[in-house]
């Protein structure tokens, strides 16, 4: 009887840990191809409501959705990226079984570059209208370690906002929302985008 009393708890323990083991799946990895686009995007940093970083824009092969690469592994920090070029790269996509709290369950690691194509090949200038938000934000560019002050802007007709660190000849006063007429100057090599103020169309106190 004593033997039975000892064996029964052992059997129950084995069954319990076996069930737990079946429930806990490990990380899933696969090699994929990604498109890295010729311009970058931005995203806010965790636990900060006024600090943003510059990140690569990408899509997975067979998926047209363009996303901000905030969950790139450290290998993407060393990816030799130049604005104005579009890349096809091979990457390892890891789906984490137990992701950190408030973090993505997917991590991408750069493996190799398949192709690199210049997509911005000519200089251009155009007059456009932009909206400028009422306060500056902190911004860390991909190519720099230091924090800069930057504007949230939205180009007329565009769906998404952008972050820019300068608008030439613009005297910004915090607490006002602006509509500006600007000259947008794109230089192909090296790739740069510059906004030059032509006229303040409107200025509204927020």
The mean-pLDDT minimum among 7-11, 68-72, 142-146 falls in: 7-11
Lowest mean pLDDT among 24-38, 69-83, 126-140: 69-83
Question: pLDDT above 70 covers what percent of the chain?
Answer: 87
- Domain boundaries, given as residue ranges, for the chain: 28-118, 124-205
pLDDT of 155 higher than 90: yes
pLDDT digits (tens, 9 = 90+) for 77-120: 778 999 999 999 999 999 988 887 767 789 999 999 999 999 99
Largest CA distance in the chain: 94
Evaluate if pTM is beyond 0.85: no
Q: Which residue has the higher pLDDT, 149 or 10?
A: 149
pLDDT at 24: 55
Question: What is the predicted pLDDT for the residue at 15?
Answer: 40
Residues in the chain: 206
Mean pLDDT over the full length of the chain: 86
Instruction: Say yes or no to pLDDT of 8 above 50.
Output: no
The vertex-76 CA angle with 36 and 41, nearest 5°, equals: 50
Beta strands in 47-136 (DSSP E): 51-60, 67-68, 85-95, 106-118, 124-132
Instruction: Kindly give, in sequence order, each residue whose CB lies less than 8 Å from that of residue 187, ignoring residues fewer than 6 positions away.
Output: 123, 193, 194
Beta bridge partners of 192: 187
Give the tokens for residue 134.
Answer: 């009422």
Measure the CA–CA gap between 81 and 142, rounded to whole angstroms.
10
């Amino acid at each position: 009887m004593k033997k039975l009393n000892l064996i029964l708890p052992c059997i129950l323990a084995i069954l319990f840990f076996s069930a737990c083991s079946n429930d806990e799946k490990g990380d899933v990895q696969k090699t994929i191809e990604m498109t890295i686009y010729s311009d970058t995007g931005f995203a806010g940093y965790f636990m900060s409501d006024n600090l943003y970083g510059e990140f690569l824009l990408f899509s997975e092969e067979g998926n047209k959705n363009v996303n901000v690469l905030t969950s790139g592994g450290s290998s993407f920090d060393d990816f030799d990226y130049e604005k104005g070029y579009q890349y096809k790269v091979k990457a390892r996509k890891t789906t984490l079984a137990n992701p950190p709290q408030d973090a993505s369950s997917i991590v991408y690691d750069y493996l190799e570059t398949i192709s690199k194509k210049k997509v911005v090949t000519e200089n251009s200038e155009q007059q456009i209208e932009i909206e400028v938000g009422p306060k500056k934000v902190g911004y860390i560019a991909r190519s720099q370690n230091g924090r800069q002050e930057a504007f949230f802007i939205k180009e007329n007709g565009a769906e998404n906002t952008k972050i820019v660190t300068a608008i030439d000849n613009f005297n910004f006063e915090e607490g006002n929302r602006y509509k500006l007429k600007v000259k947008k100057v794109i230089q192909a090599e090296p790739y740069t985008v510059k906004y030059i103020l032509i006229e303040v169309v409107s200025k509204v106190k927020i």
